[in-house]
Amino acid sequence: MNKKTENILELFQQINNIPRCSKKEENISNWLMKWAEEHELEAVSDEVKNVLIKVPATKGFENKPIIVIQGHMDMVCEKTPESSHDFSKDAIENIIDGDWLHANNTTLGADNGVALAFGLEIARDKNIPHPPLELLFTVDEETGLTGANALRNDFLEGKILLNFDSEEEGIFTIGCAGGRDTKIMLPLEYQDISDNESIYKIGVSGLMGGHSGGDITKHRGNANKLLVRTLQEIKEKYSFNIVDLSGGSAHNAIPRDSEATISFKSEHYEGIKEVIQKIEEIIKLEFSETEKTISIKLIKNDKNYNKSFTANTTEKVINLILALPHGTKEMSLEFDGVPETSCNLATLEIQNEKLIILSSQRSSKMSARDYLTKEIEAVAKLCKAEYKSGVGYSSWQPNINSKLLEHCKNVYKNKFGKDAIIEVVHGGLECGVIGAKYDGMDMISIGPTIRNPHSPQEKMYIPSLIKFWEFVCELLKSF
């Protein structure tokens, strides 16, 4: 490992020492401000804790255009069921395994802590020729692009933006999907659990999960949908009522785990167990190429319950979740292999005697995003559930005539002797929001290689760090 890679990883570990789940970025924001002060750099923080660090140009580049380097502070906080990690206080453990860096049964946070590490390393390395730089680090990208949406129109001066939130070295991203969330709230009716009923949990676990944009076409199971499919199979043979229900973790993560607590007559235990075993075998066969560790188990309940949903409510809950869509709805006609429109049935939880369901819709076409949202709202109406859809965020429409894109392509070809790949992505990027706020902003999204973001399997390819570093340095010098 060369010295520059060591420096970047050392900065990345410092960043990972600071808990920074979405909406809890105050400590990392304050750390960035202190870091800038220690390195005698001008820095400002706005009302939502976005940070802008200004790096003066090196000699001879003073009159060149300002370059904005941008990434987000927050990370998706996911862990395996066996992990005891506390995201509110524990540092993320960086583990080197050959050419890969991963964490200890949690998300790594390379999405997007690596952008912070690269930006800070560029700022402190006095040997890199570069124009004036604005390092823009935003909050809460993962749960709604809050930081980007809150940017003041006068916060940035630069008109050329390098977003460091892409996940494949050698690929230039020039467009992304827009998104919108819908929250469905179904009132629940309860009844007493009788003495002759048993209470058990049905747990769906062991799924890959992943990014609800980038991984939505990879035939990965949604634990919430598989759980309710299992409940429906049981319902066709045995009577039961739901007692409790929960699943998923975030709007932009495909659910890996989901569980329902149910009550039923004790004599039906063996029959229900057999139904679960059979549906588990069927689902394992359906996902045999992508989900190697699916588990659907009947587990003894360890909590005290005295009420369950009524039979009518149980039926309504199962039908509502079955009817809600999940997965890819349309593929792009302009870009092979890229979804145009999709949705993620993200989370289930019980709050104040209501079932709360969160669905996340994405599309490169805002009309398609909004139409899919109306379809989901219509399902809620049919079940007499309340619903609320957010305003959402805009897509980033690709500009194949971008001067920045052409410049980056030439620099990459001259540096490495091969062409970079140009793509659009189905995930959301802050470029769409920033571009709408700053008219004429020329943007591109780039980054080192990261696999399985938004899941505990997240890892970063260490050799890609130096190659990405060399490209960025060459690009900055070329301006």
pLDDT in tens, 6-55: 999 999 999 999 999 999 999 999 999 999 999 999 999 999 999 999 99
Indicate whether 252 and 356 sit together in one domain.
yes
Burial class (CB in 10 A: 0-12, 13-18, 19+), 14: middle
Q: Are residues 48 and 121 in the same domain?
A: yes
Asked if pLDDT for residue 380 goes beyond 90, the answer is yes
Residues contacting residue 72 through CB under 8 Å, at least 6 positions apart: 112, 115, 137, 138, 139, 140, 141, 142, 147, 165, 430
Which of 355, 389, 423 terminates a domain? The answer is 389
- Residue 312 sits in a domain of what CATH number? 3.30.70.360
> Which of 392, 345, 327, 336 shows the shortest CA–CA distance to 365?
392
Asked if 189 and 126 sit in the same domain, the reply is no
Same domain, 16 and 75: yes
Question: Across the chain, what does the average pLDDT equal?
Answer: 96
pLDDT over 70 for what percent of the chain?
100
**What's the domain count of the chain?**
2
Residue range 382-436, pLDDT digits in tens: 999 999 999 988 899 999 999 999 999 999 999 999 999 999 999 889 999 999 8
The CATH number for 425's domain is: 3.40.630.10
344 and 208 both lie in a single domain: yes
pLDDT at 143 over 90: no
The reply to whether 304 and 284 lie within a common domain is yes
Q: Is 403 in the same domain as 381?
A: no
CA distance 185 to 383: 10
Q: What is the pLDDT of residue 431?
A: 95
pLDDT exceeds cutoff 90 at 381:
yes
Per-residue confidence (pLDDT) for residue 7, from 0 to 100: 97
Banded pLDDT at 91 (limits 50, 70, 90):
very high
Q: Both ends of the chain: CA-CA distance in Å?
A: 29
Domain identity same for 244 and 218: yes
**Pair 378, 430 in one domain:** no
pLDDT digits (tens, 9 = 90+) for 310-325: 999 999 999 999 999 9
Q: Which of 78, 111, 140, 141 is catalytic?
A: 141
Mean pLDDT confidence for 300-304: 89
Q: Which of 25, 74, 169, 291 is catalytic?
A: 74
Q: Contact at 8 Å (CB) between 465 and 183?
A: no
pLDDT value at 87 more than 90: yes
Please give the pLDDT value at position 427: 85
Classify residue 415 by burial, with Cβ atoms within 10 Å: 0-12, 13-18, 19+: middle
**In the annotation, is 423 catalytic?**
no
Confidence grade of residue 468 (pLDDT, cut at 50, 70, 90): very high
Same domain, 312 and 362: yes
Residue where a domain terminates, one of 389, 417, 445:
389
Cβ–Cβ under 8 Å, residues 362 and 373 = no
Clarify whether residues 409 and 370 are in a common domain: no
Q: Residues 271, 417: one domain? A: no
Please say if 192 is a catalytic residue.
no
Burial of residue 388 (number of CB atoms within 10 Å: 0-12, 13-18, 19+): exposed
Name residues whose C-beta falls within 8 Å of residue 368's C-beta, 6 or more positions apart in sequence. 329, 330, 340, 341
Q: Which of 402, 404, 342, 399 is nearest to 373 (CA)?
A: 342
Residue 112's pLDDT band, with cuts at 50, 70 and 90, is very high
Give the pLDDT of residue 214.
87
- Parent domain of 227: 180-389
| Residues contacting 302, CB < 8 A, separation 6+ | none
pTM reported for the whole predicted model: 0.83
Closest to 218 in 3D by CA, of 338, 304, 387, 58: 338
pLDDT given at position 460: 98
pLDDT at 334 over 90: no
The last residue of a domain, from among 329, 364, 389: 389
